[in-house]
Structure 1
Amino acid sequence: MTRIILLAVVSKFASRPSCTPVSRTALREIGMHSSGAILRVAKVARCWKALLLSVLVLTPLLFSQTSTTSLHGVISDAKGAVLPGATVTIDDPATGFTRSTTTDSQGVYQFVQIPPATYSFSASAKGFATVKQENVRLLVGTPGTLNLTLGVQGEAVTVEVSAQAQAVNTEDATLGHAFGTEKIESLPFEGRDPVGILSLQPGVVWVGKNVDQSFDSRGGSVNGARSDQTNVTLDGIDNNDQELGRAFQGALRSTLDSLQEFRVTTSNSNADTGRSSGAQVNLVTKSGTNNWHGSAYEYNRSGIGEANDWFNKQTQLNSGEPNKPPHLVRNTFGATFGGPIKKDRVFFFAAYEGQRTRENFQAFRIVPSDNLRQGMISYLTCGAGQATDCANPTQVVALSPQQFASLDPNCGPNGSCPLGAGANPAVLQVFQTYPHPNTNAVGDGLNFAGFTFSAPAPGKLDTYIAKLDINLTQNGNHRVFVRGGLQNDHSVLKKEPVSQTGDSGPEFPGLTPNLLNLNNSKGIIASYTAVLRNNLINNFRYGYIRQGEDTVGTKNEHFVHFRGLDNPLGFNTSTNSHVPVNNFVDDVTWTKGKHTLQFGGNFRIINNIRSSNST
């Protein structure tokens, strides 16, 4: 199935007599797939000018999903009078990126569409001392504000200060929080999973990892919006889970040590986000710098101090086995490395992370009771001639194999029962292959009983990330980056629809797992940012992310099924799912006088390719 989605918000720059008055914005959404087409178009003015397929934001300093940021402020003198024509410059010594502008008639300066980083800031004006400010930290999607006062040149030649730009967002109504590298590295998270950080935002519902979100979509719900309404972007490109729509879980995984920073907007997102009513998640990958830098790490959670599962402990004690807890061992390791290929011009960054888990979970199966294994049938009755409540029978009657056989006196080897009257001996032979029941937590308490065991669910995750940054010009006014990512995962699924209890893993101890999950998702992202003029910036990005998940079942086993019982051998189908997404994003920022106009478009082509051996 192929689906093409085009989202745009369009607004005209000025009214003309030949144009029909219309509302300020209009939304276009076109969806196409193999079974038909859906077209919903809200028409705008019938003007001789072609309407731009774009997102136009008339509020200053709004941000698109291109993972950039901005800085603005006012330059004034010691008496509070604004200084028009002052020269303002920001510089990132780590990458050689620099950009300059001049203040307008109100003393206001603006830097838009700039990469998140820690900048050096300087301001100068004729007759005034130059002010330099270090460590101006700008986070992704968070408008920075920095106002400076210049003293007359006779007082000092250069004034150097060190501080950060204002962290409070006073430019728009978005609610959320940005995390920088320091917070990402210092916060402890189980399994080094970025999802753990994203779930810390106010208004986010977190139900833990033990809830299967295929059947429970509460996990990741933000301020009442469904979890599949969260929009995840990686370096400005759509990175949503197109299959299950899980919140905070992209199609392409990012490791903690590969993230420079990210921001989660939980409410009041701007029009330029382009889609979804839930949270907006922007993730930014680290880049190389003029300095060589790297890291190596390993986190190990051993089996020391493991606690036993209550059901597993009860089963072991009843069977005379030692109290042995299930395994819970996790080993996460990786490394990062980055640096310059050519100083101030070309940089690279690479990261690898692997995770090996040796975990068990408590699985339940429904098996024949010991009586049923011998051909004895049990049922409830209200009693022969007794004044009992027949609506709620409590008396158990067990029929012996002979009594069961006598229920059909006409059944014989020459008639409808070639194997003789009573229980089918072939079925009883299959019943002997089941393990004896060891729990009453599942089953009907009569003919069907429960069997529970500690099921192994090992996992192997590998993540590869590489990024190349190029300053096409010395000052970085024309920048290109390319990012590639690859996953190689192999894990045992813990839930399945075929099992009577919903538990997956091996059907019984000693058997192979019923369902394996293989993930080989991969993607490439490319970006070109061009400062066409001091007041005109274009940012184009293309991303191809192929979400590939295969579920491998055990359909090569014999299929033996009894209604109400789990199969004696696992029997599951295999499914191959590939969802490639091509995403084209372009954003233009134009400063005209006191106004900053931002417009652009987001075009996505989504294919859903599936195959299965289900019959």
Structure 2
Amino acid sequence: MHVLCALVLCVVLGGPAPAQVLYGSLTGNVTDASGGAVPGARVEALNAGTGIAKEAVTDDRGAYLFTDLQTGAYKLTVSAPSFRTVVQERVAVNANTVVRVDTHLEISQVAESVTVTSEAARLQTDRAEVSAQLETSQVTDLPITAGRNFQQLYKLIPGASTPADAHSDAGNPQRALVTNFNGVSRSNNNTRLDGATVSYPWLPHIVAYVPPAEAVETVNIVTNSFDAEQGMAGGAAVSVAIKSGTNDYHGSLHEFHTNSALKARNFFFLGNQTPKNIFNQFGGTFGGPIKKNKLFFFGDWERTVRRQNASAFRTVPTDALRQGDFTGTGALIYDPDTGSPDGSGRQLFADQRIPASHIDAAAAKMIALIPAPTLSGFANNYFATGTYEFNRDNFDFKVNYNPATRASMFARYSISPSDIFDPPSLGPAGGDALAGGQPGRAPGRIQSAAVGGTYTVSPRVLVDCNIGFTRQRLGAQNVDIDKNYGLDFLNIPGTNGPDRLQGGYPRFIIFGYSSIGNPNVSNPFLFRDNQYVTVGNVGWVKGSHSLRFGGEYTYYTINHFQPQAANGPRGGFNFTGGLTALRGGASPTQFNGWADFLLGLPQA
């Protein structure tokens, strides 16, 4: 269990208050034609999507400031008596950024207005941090590979390494990517989703939840000169915002599909073979008003389905070896019941055959489950094949409410159930997973929730707060877990246990042969990891000084079940071949390993 409590104080003098992680700020100076300040000018910032307007009045320096603005496009209107009104269209405000729009007013004797359509300056001059912004158009329009993970676009950020896959699908069903920034450890990044920490406490270099690309509003990445509010980050502080509803109904549908028919044939495959490889990702988004200018919603759903042929060569015993017949192998199989205890003086089995009466009962039961060879020879003589299955859904639902011009709030809930199946390579006899992950089925469920709000106490005092929660429920279990096969089927004392998670076959490692049973010592596993975060901030503007005070409390819990011993609770046995070899003679071969197994004589 890990607990972190942080109290931060941020003081900025002679400039605008810092932008908030969840919100943006808009600032500027209003001057006349001579460059003199225009105090008392009225400035309105209207969110073009929601119709929510905020007002400010310029001070003696002609400066104005809006903080805690929801991300989106704004229309900025500046007016003052005896001056032409200036309207600035399409001012983009993103989370954790300060946008500066300086305005020059011209004297006019009649009521006139000037509309400016040029974009606001993109150069960040009001904050010292080094940051980059990924906007909706980039996330949805730039080409990214199958899976459409917005983290793939980190490669556009200066100082970022190429994002890479990490860990098995069972342990990382979101397929979160690993990146380091500016050479700092990949574990030193901190990612938040609408303010909720979505780091992975057990594997801190990846995140617990990755929203669909079509649901992402903006991604802000700070890589240097971090603000005090962006704690727990040495590499990058990443803030992801889910889209919000607006006064208009908007929706979208998408599908990305590829299969083996669309792929080129592997040069080394015979004929026109193209193994099964189906990837299908589809979903949609929809959002709009519940009550215009007040209450909005946004929701999305995405399903990812993958079906892929998994295959590998494995080594299994021939029909003759299953019966204890080693003739034709060239191996020397010695009877461990003869000779001295140290292994010297042993006698060969007659005709290189182990009598049926000597074959261990548990070994005989396992042999009956091992598939027959599909190829000739004694090694790599079985071509194992199966279908790997991956299923995942992502749901996000967000509500924004603006009860008054002084207050705003939001709530978001995300959930992602997943189900993965990696078939054992030897079928009923078990073996390792064909696709290289956790053998058997791996169910999972990720949940993330966030609630936040802002309140303007006075034109000079603003308060914002948010709380977040993320829970990971991950697990993996082999297909044999529901029965104590070691104890009840093979009748081997000391295997399995009273708990369901201790069920299944023991681990059989046979020198020279593919492992049978469940050779994965970390299977099964069960993770229940929770993350809680609470943040509160107060912004205070006094004359030309801007101060921001804040506190954050973060609480992690790691609740795991996962075997870490060599053989786990099911038990395990190693057959090295030494017990059917002659001390001082030739080194044991794979056939000695198999003979040890037939006789039920493990060495570990």
Smaller-chain TM-score range?
0.7 to 0.9
Q: 1:584 aligns with which of 534, 544, 551?
A: 534
The one-letter amino acid paired with 1:77 is: D
The one-letter amino acid paired with 2:417 is: N
Question: Which TM-score applies when normalising by structure 1?
Answer: 0.75
The one-letter amino acid paired with 2:43 is: V
CA RMSD of aligned residues (A): 3.8
- In the TM superposition, what is the alpha-carbon distance from 1:515 to its structure 2 partner? 3.5
Q: 2:115 aligns with which of 149, 160, 185?
A: 160
Paired residue secondary structure (2:477) = strand
**Which 10-residue stretch deviates more, 165-174 or 540-549?**
165-174
Matched, 1:562 2:562: no
Contact 1:222 1:266 in 2 (8 A): yes
The residue that corresponds to 2:460 in the other structure is 535
The one-letter amino acid paired with 1:6 is: C
The residue that corresponds to 1:395 in the other structure is none
Residues 344 and 357 of structure 1, relative CA distance in 2, 3 Å threshold? same
The residue that corresponds to 1:593 in the other structure is 543
Q: Give the share of equivalent positions with the same residue, in percent.
A: 24
- State the distance in 2 between where 1:156 and 1:229 align: 56
Q: 1:140 aligns with which of 95, 98, 108?
A: 95
Residues 590 and 362 of structure 1, relative CA distance in 2, 3 Å threshold? farther
The residue that corresponds to 2:393 in the other structure is 462
The residue that corresponds to 1:203 in the other structure is 159
- In the TM superposition, what is the alpha-carbon distance from 1:8 to its structure 2 partner? 2.2
Contact 2:468 2:533 in 1 (8 A): yes
**CA offsets 1:526-551 (integer angstroms, 9 cap, x no match):** 11210111111111101121121112
Contact 1:363 1:455 in 2 (8 A): no
Contact 1:218 1:226 in 2 (8 A): no
The residue that corresponds to 2:593 in the other structure is none
Matched, 1:193 2:149: yes
Matched, 1:548 2:473: yes
- In the TM superposition, what is the alpha-carbon distance from 1:407 to its structure 2 partner? 9.5
- State the distance in 1 between where 2:280 and 2:399 align: 29
- State the distance in 2 between where 1:342 and 1:207 align: 41
Contact 2:386 2:423 in 1 (8 A): no
The residue that corresponds to 2:64 in the other structure is 109
- State the distance in 2 between where 1:417 and 1:514 align: 41
Residues 481 and 210 of structure 1, relative CA distance in 2, 3 Å threshold? closer
Matched, 1:481 2:430: no
- State the distance in 1 between where 2:385 and 2:272 align: 12
The one-letter amino acid paired with 1:484 is: Y
**CA offsets 1:8-45 (integer angstroms, 9 cap, x no match):** 23xxxxxxxxxxxxxxxxxxxxxxxxxxxxxxxxxxxx
Mark the runs of 5 or more structure 1 residues left unpaired by the alignment. Answer: 10-53, 379-397, 440-445, 497-501
Matched, 1:79 2:9: no
Matched, 1:400 2:330: yes
Contact 2:472 2:529 in 1 (8 A): yes
Question: Which TM-score applies when normalising by structure 2?
Answer: 0.76
Number of residues of Structure 1 aligned to a counterpart in Structure 2: 520
- State the distance in 2 between where 1:438 and 1:222 align: 49
Paired residue secondary structure (1:357) = strand
- State the distance in 2 between where 1:575 and 1:98 align: 52
Q: 2:239 aligns with which of 263, 282, 302?
A: 282
Correspondence 1:56-455 to 2 at 5 A: 56-58=11-13, 60-61=15-16, 63=18, 66-154=21-109, 157-189=112-144, 190-206=146-162, 208-209=164-165, 219-247=178-206, 250-308=207-265, 313=269, 317=270, 323-363=272-312, 365=314, 367=316, 400=330, 403-405=332-334, 410=339, 426=359, 433=370, 436=373, 449=380, 453-455=384-386
- In the TM superposition, what is the alpha-carbon distance from 1:172 to its structure 2 partner? 2.6
- State the distance in 2 between where 1:323 and 1:570 align: 35
Paired residue secondary structure (1:523) = strand
Paired residue secondary structure (1:521) = strand
- State the distance in 2 between where 1:524 and 1:495 align: 36
- State the distance in 2 between where 1:369 and 1:223 align: 55
Contact 1:584 1:603 in 2 (8 A): yes
Q: 1:521 aligns with which of 442, 446, 465?
A: 446
- In the TM superposition, what is the alpha-carbon distance from 1:326 to its structure 2 partner? 2.1
- State the distance in 2 between where 1:89 and 1:246 align: 43
- In the TM superposition, what is the alpha-carbon distance from 1:488 to its structure 2 partner? 1.0
- State the distance in 1 between where 2:467 and 2:75 align: 30
Contact 1:258 1:351 in 2 (8 A): yes
Residues 328 and 162 of structure 1, relative CA distance in 2, 3 Å threshold? same
- State the distance in 2 between where 1:410 and 1:227 align: 59
Residues 495 and 196 of structure 1, relative CA distance in 2, 3 Å threshold? farther
- In the TM superposition, what is the alpha-carbon distance from 1:574 to its structure 2 partner? 1.9
The one-letter amino acid paired with 1:533 is: S
